[in-house]
Structure 1
């Protein structure tokens, strides 16, 4: 499993969350919403320090990670994070 972050998504993190090189961003499972695999759950994110990361990706000095407890959510798919200009928000794809 991998995390892929586009340059446009990284810019969103910089603009909206003031993320800069050296910061760590966690993708986690949250209750509510939906995704292609699990109704009633969706993807959340926060600036957080890794405790037991299973998936780690670095992009321009920023570390993105998923903790071991949240890996089930991705159903053995890679996480692709991009920016949707039309909706002015991040978009997620699972491949």
Structure 2
């Protein structure tokens, strides 16, 4: 699994969550909601500057974006792209999932 963070999403996270060099964001699955790949679950995130059991991670502009091993089930088989386009949704980042053949 790969996590891709666009430049505009990186700036959005920094501005909205007060992130700076050495901080982190954890993505995870939560009950309720819907994604293009899961019914009954939605994508959530939280600031987490001290990851412990990392399944996958990427660094963008000094910020670590990651998924814990316990949330592998939610992302397995997909790469996650995080983008921000104020014309599409001025208040939120946009998430897209790409199949990666990982089983």
What TM-score, normalized by structure 1, do the two folds share? 0.94
Partner of 1:25: 25
Match of 2:37 in 1: 37
Alpha-carbon deviation of 1:72?
Answer: 1.2
What 5-or-longer segments of structure 2 have no aligned partner?
A: 99-103
RMSD, aligned CA: 1.0
- Aligned equivalents of 1:72, 1:52: Cα separation in 2: 14
- 1:37·1:75 contact (CA, 8 Å) conserved in 2? no
User: What TM-score do the two structures reach when normalised by structure 2?
Assistant: 0.87
Aligned residues: 95
Whether 2:79 is the aligned partner of 1:93: answer no
Q: Distance in 2 between matches of 1:61 and 1:84?
A: 21
